[in-house]
Amino acid sequence: MALTLIYCIFLISLPAMFQVASYPSSSFPMHGHGHHQKQQQVSSPSIQLPRTLARPPFAEASREAILAAAPELASVPAEYIRRGLRSRANEMLAGISVLSGSHLPSSMPRSHMQATISIPIRPTQAPPTYPTHVLALSSSKSSSDSVMLFPVHSLILASHCASLPRMPPPASPPSTTLHLPVLPFSLPSPAAFSILHTYMYNHRLDSVLKSLFPLPAGFLQSLSHHTVQTTLSSGTTLHQLSAYLCSSAGSNLHTLTSHAAHVKELWQDMVALGLHDPELWDTIDLAWEVVLGALNLAAKGH
């Protein structure tokens, strides 16, 4: 699936001096659903970074997709479905864990893919909630024959992602073999999807940030959406986090640019999937502010 991005980030070679916009003196504006954030793109001869990462217009999850995954929820709003799924996260993640490793490879050549993947399972008294499908992700930015495989529950994807194609119907309930229909899909960064895959189940903002770059353990402990929003409006706290990140990278511009690339790839995947989670979007905003600040500090030599 091709994705046309309004704003691109070109991470090529770094100049001797690198400059991005510093923190504004006032609070950062919070983004709302359905609004594009006006961007002031900053650049140098060999690198360009947008001041902020744009959010596409809000689009709710497809009612048709939800209906295909769970007909009994036809009249339930998507937001209520997402909240209800949180209480089942552990049993669904347990079902995914059973398939990890030798049962389901993490990747395979696209040419070897079939419409269904069959996996033997052991009957138990209290079986976990097994995945219903396998997402086979290829990169929209390369011609690699390899696809990454993610066992998923169709209702999780259908209720979170507005831009997924219609999923194949699930197989019959498992007995001794699990038959998982395969859904091929293309994303800018299949590797970055692993962060989103976990988040759609556990909704842990600290795990998202830890997957992107180092931050103080005290800040990440019990991280809430309120903490994220408060931090976004505090130039002092943002500076402290940027200084920590800059120090952890040894003020190395190449390392910090790699961190920026990881945030950018996660953002691109969210846009491509139509994943409109306000808490996650604010967390991506926070990650971007911190990494831009760290790049500024490294470029200025503190």
pLDDT value at 240 more than 60: yes
The residues pairing with 185 across neighbouring beta strands, listed in sequence order, are 137
Among residues 158, 189, 220, the one where a domain terminates is 189
Q: What is the dihedral of CA 183, 260, 11, 275, to 10 degrees?
A: 30
Q: Quick one: pLDDT at residue 145?
A: 84
Average pLDDT over residues 163-184: 84
pLDDT given at position 3: 34
Whether the per-residue pLDDT at 211 is higher than 50: the answer is yes
- Whole-number pLDDT of residue 102: 61
Instruction: Please tell me the predicted confidence (pLDDT) of residue 134.
Output: 95
Tokens linked to 187? 């994303």
Q: Where are the beta strands (DSSP E) in 101-198?
A: 107-109, 116-120, 133-139, 146-152, 177-187
Give 255-277 pLDDT, tens digit per residue. Answer: 999 999 999 999 999 999 999 99
pTM, to two decimals: 0.83
pLDDT at 34: 32
Please state the rounded mean pLDDT for residues 191-215: 97
Distance in angstroms (rounded) separating the CA atoms of residues 84 and 281:
21
Do residues 106 and 148 share a domain?
yes
Query: pLDDT-based confidence at 44, cuts 50/70/90?
Result: very low
Q: Look at residue 252 in the predicted model and tell me its pLDDT.
A: 95
Assess whether 209 and 270 both reside in one domain.
yes
45 neighbors 13 (Cβ within 8 angstroms): no
Same-domain status, 236 and 280: yes
Tokens of 151: 């066992």
Instruction: Decide if 262 contacts 212 (C-beta within 8 A).
Output: yes
Which of 189, 212, 228 marks a domain boundary? 189
- Residue 215 domain-assigned? yes
pLDDT at 282 over 70: yes
Q: What is the CA radius of gyration of the chain?
A: 20
Which of 139, 159, 189 terminates a domain? The answer is 189
pLDDT over 70 (residue 6) = no
Instruction: Give how many domains the chain has, as a whole number.
Output: 2
Give the pLDDT of residue 47: 56
- Percentage of the chain beyond pLDDT 90 is 62
Of 260, 204, 245, which is closest to residue 268 (Cα–Cα)?
260
Average pLDDT score over the chain: 83
| Same-domain pairing of 158 and 72 | yes
One domain for residues 237 and 168: no
Least confident range from 33-47, 66-80, 166-180, 218-232: namely 33-47
- 226 plus 173 within the same structural domain: no
Domain assignment present for residue 24? The answer is no
Res 172: pLDDT: 74
pLDDT tens digits for 93-103? 999 998 876 67
Same domain, 80 and 169: yes
Read off the pLDDT of residues 140-155 as tens digits, 9 standing for 90 and up.
Answer: 888 888 999 999 999 9
- Range with the largest mean pLDDT of 57-71, 140-154, 176-190, 281-295: 281-295
| Residues spanned by the domain of 231 | 204-302
Range of weakest confidence among 12-26, 234-248, 264-278: 12-26
- In three-state secondary structure terms, 157 is helix
What pLDDT sits at residue 168?
84
